Amino acid sequence: MLPYKSLIKIDRKGRQPIYLQVANRFISLIRDGLIRPGAYLPGSRILAEMLVLHRKTVVAAYDELASQDWVVPVPRKGMMVATNLPQIKPRTFAGAQHAYGQDPPFTLNPVPELPHPRTAGKRQKLVVNDGFPDVRLAPLDEWIRECRSLIQQPSYHRYLTTTTPSGNDHLRAQLVRHLSATRGLNIIPENTMITRGAQMSIYLAAALLISKGDHVIVGSPNYYFADLTFEQLGANLLRVPVDKDGIDVDAVEQLCKKKKIKLLYVISHHHHPTTVTLSAERRMKLLEIIRKYNLAVIEDDYDYDFYYSAAPIVPLASADHGGNVIYVGSFTKSLGLSLRIGFMIAPEKFMQQAAALRRLMDLGGDNLVEEALANMLKDGTIGRHLKKANKVYRERRDIAGDLLQKQLGDYVSFQLPQGGMAIWLQVDPKLKIQRLVEEVAGMGLTLNYSYQYYYGTKPGNAIRFGFAALNQRELGQAVTIIRKGIGRL
């Protein structure tokens, strides 16, 4: 409801009757577009209380509006603003001018962004996403139970306040235990920060390191939101190839010899988008390069928790890197809940600066959410969920691989990933991805294809097939639609 108490001012000493003042003010609000045709005015009792008037005065004002055809009485609903107004033409408010037009009257700093494909925004029955978990498997009941338990505690009010910029202390302590047990990281709470997702971690870390014109090494292809972040901060991106063994560390070293490199961004476990894992040999050599050139590294480990064919390889951050590796990850994908919770691991003084920077844009996280997550880590709920999810996603990976090979083997090639939630499909160059995407969209399927993954480089012909969010029936439907789409090209 509009703030009528402040919009309708009454001059109790004026010559004009108060009911006419109220009626005329409503007419002005309707003419100005603040009250739209078809809208209902407040009930006479409610408006009388707002304006501290007798109800009969408000009724008289409404009668005056009705007599001039500004409003019409609707049984059991009240006074409705007429859709065919006197003196002015009826408005079509979908395209009407309002306080904020499309273009601001001031200049903006440009923000790099990706072009949207022609199928963007269309609602589809099936979506092959970028590699997200199945929200139907999320531990929602456990999450609700934990939040309810916290709220019912006598000291619940302290969980409803915001955290410090570094995050909830209990969660940071549990994060240390979790990362030590699962990744072999030798850290203390002062090395940690809780963020609103891995993307915030990447931005905070990069913003502390990058100045305009600095050289940043990234893979090709690469996680495009990281590329956009570095470019927004003024970096000059130097791209090195990614093959079946991960990022080309020899190419990284050659660049370090020729230029002053400020930052290397690497996804060592399940590279995005290609899903490959950095080989043990390259890991060892990359660690030597990091120490030799005192190279700052952001290691993005966005879905470390999902592995199938073999035990996961520990991250670079767990090795002897001299404090140069900034490790970022996320619980968002691990849980499948709509929770934006990530983390960043770095030297203590770096974390202090990151907290100071975070405070400028976000004073702190959600303390209740973070406390609940800390308890779920402590009591093993997260571990049990990840064990269950890994079993389901491994089965779906195998089903997807079998379907893709049998039905699309003549058109795509791929390596079944050791972990993660997507398969990187290299598509026959004779097939135009854009046309295929448009064709299957007409049959109710959304595909993630390579236009965004090759941002800043020569476009490739590939699809990132996220299998985790689709059950067996849905996987079959998706692959069948792709097969039909290829047949129509």
pLDDT in tens, 256-289: 999 999 999 999 999 999 999 999 999 999 999 9
User: What pLDDT is stored for residue 272 in this prediction?
Assistant: 94
Which residue's structure tokens are 């409404």?
62
Percentage of the residues of the chain whose pLDDT score is greater than 90: 67
- Cα–Cα distances (Å) from 264 to 141, 227, 249, in that order, read 40, 11, 11
User: What pLDDT is stored for residue 95 in this prediction?
Assistant: 45
The contacts of residue 2 (CB under 8 Å, 6+ apart) are: 29, 34, 35
Cα separation, 449 vs 150, whole angstroms: 43
Contact 265, 230 (CB under 8 A): yes
Cα separation, 191 vs 189, whole angstroms: 5
Residue 93: count other Cβ atoms within 10 Å of its Cβ. 12
More confidently predicted of 291 and 103: 291
Q: Could you read off the pLDDT of 145-174 as tens digits, one per residue? A: 999 999 888 887 777 776 789 999 999 999
What value, to the nearest 5°, has the Cα angle with vertex 417 and ends 411 and 423? 45
Identify the structural domains of the chain with CATH numbers, from first to last.
4-95 (1.10.10.10), 126-132+385-488 (3.90.1150.10), 139-379 (3.40.640.10)
Cα separation, 170 vs 160, whole angstroms: 15
The token pair at 86 is: 């006197």
- pTM of this structure: 0.80
User: What pLDDT is stored for residue 30 in this prediction?
Assistant: 87
User: What pLDDT is stored for residue 89 in this prediction?
Assistant: 45
**At 22, is the secondary structure helix, strand, or coil?**
helix
What pLDDT band is residue 101 in, cutting at 50, 70 and 90?
low
User: Looking at residues 324-353, what average pLDDT do you find?
Assistant: 91
Q: Which of 272, 318, 329, 326 is nearest to 295 (CA)?
A: 326
> Phi/psi at 77 (nearest 5 deg)?
-125, -30
Q: What is the mean pLDDT of the chain?
A: 89
Amino acid at 105: P
User: Looking at residues 111-125, what average pLDDT do you find?
Assistant: 66
Contact 250, 297 (CB under 8 A): no
**At 303, is the secondary structure helix, strand, or coil?**
coil
Reply yes or no on whether the pLDDT at 371 is more than 50: yes
DSSP-derived pairing of the beta strands 297-300 and 261-266: parallel
The contacts of residue 110 (CB under 8 Å, 6+ apart) are: none
* 414, burial (CB in 10 Å: exposed 0-12, middle 13-18, buried 19+): buried
User: What pLDDT is stored for residue 96 in this prediction?
Assistant: 45
Reply yes or no on whether the pLDDT at 88 is more than 70: no
User: What pLDDT is stored for residue 293 in this prediction?
Assistant: 96
